[in-house]
Amino acid sequence: AAAGQPPLDRSAVKVIAHRGSSAALPEHTAEAYRRAIEEGADGLECDVRLTADGQLVCVHDRTVRRTSDGRGTVSAMTLAQLSELDFGSWKSPEDPRPASVLTLAQLLELVADAGRRVELAIETKHPTRYAGRTEAELLRLLDRYGLLPKEGSAEGSEDPAGSPVRIMSFSELSLHRVRRAAPALPTVYLLERRLPVLGRTRALPGGARIAGPGIELVRRDPGLVAALRRAGHRVHVWTVDEPADVELCLELGVEALITNRPAQVLAQLGR
Ligand code: G3P
Ligand code: CA
């Protein structure tokens, strides 16, 4: 474990379902998220994009090509246009499972109906396009569902059991916007390569509270996690699907594992 920080309890490591239970089912569909909740995931990861008519939908790519039967750029399409497409059947054409595009509001409903605490790690994609409208709509929705922690409350503290929602981004600008508008909402700075500033200062880019390196970076540079933890940061790693990577993350003191295979990772953790 990193100096100055106690080793993390294996049973306390969080398992976050990346795009739902997405190895088994089409990513970002209600079915994939319901499955992850049934499997016992501690939380759900999703990517959000703003449609041409200002709705947040859970879609990873810039276009709908890979994950639907249509063509087009998400940000140039209306929710009505996206709703005409099938976002499920691409995954296993031999056993098609038609599914509608999932809105963030529908995902928040699904979490509200889960009957237990389910965390949400929401990633803003291409947030520069709409000059802050993505973040504004995101915070408006979270507020509507009572998910915005109040400044100074336990939820808004650094306590991992605090806010059930955190906002992640590769974009420093997007994290800054969230931080300015909702200072108590935890944010995760996603990184794919080492940045020289990390480890030497307490502050992460965008004012983030949590660092989110990719597993390839962690494999290549395990010292990074120790350095981040020494600097007082919590570390969430994506996308951790291989048993050896789960073990590596446990050794390094990673707090949350973001995985396409929540059931398998939970089993490995003995849960
Ligand atoms: O959880 C963060 C991770 O999802 C970032 O990469 O491309 O899968 O959104 P990507
Ligand atoms: Ca993502």
For 42-100, write each residue's pLDDT tens digit: 999 999 999 999 999 999 999 999 999 999 999 999 999 999 999 999 999 999 999 99
Q: Which residues' Cβ are closer than 6 Å to ligand 1? A: 18, 45, 47, 60, 123, 168, 190, 212, 238, 258
pLDDT for the residue 151: 75
Residue to mutate (ligand 1; options 238, 241, 259; most atoms within 8 A of CB): 238
pLDDT for the residue 1: 43
Query: What ipTM score was computed for the predicted complex, to two decimals?
Result: 0.99
For 132-175, write each residue's pLDDT tens digit: 999 999 999 999 999 999 876 555 555 555 789 999 999 999 99
Residue to mutate (ligand 1; options 14, 22, 47, 124; most atoms within 8 A of CB): 47
Regarding predicted confidence, which is higher, 11 or 99? 99
User: What would the CATH number be for the domain defined by 10-60+105-268?
Assistant: 3.20.20.190
Instruction: Write b or e for each residue in 85-122: b if 16 or more Cβ atoms lie within 10 A of its Cβ, otherwise e.
Output: bbbbebbeeeeebebbbbbbeebbebbeeeeeebbbbb
pLDDT for the residue 7: 59
Percent of residues, the chain, with pLDDT higher than 70 = 88
- 3 state DSSP class of 67: coil
Give the whole-angstrom CA distance, residue 160 versus residue 158. 6
Give the whole-angstrom CA distance, residue 107 versus residue 265. 23
Percent of residues, the chain, with pLDDT higher than 90 = 78
Question: How high does pLDDT run on average in the chain?
Answer: 91
pLDDT for the residue 234: 93
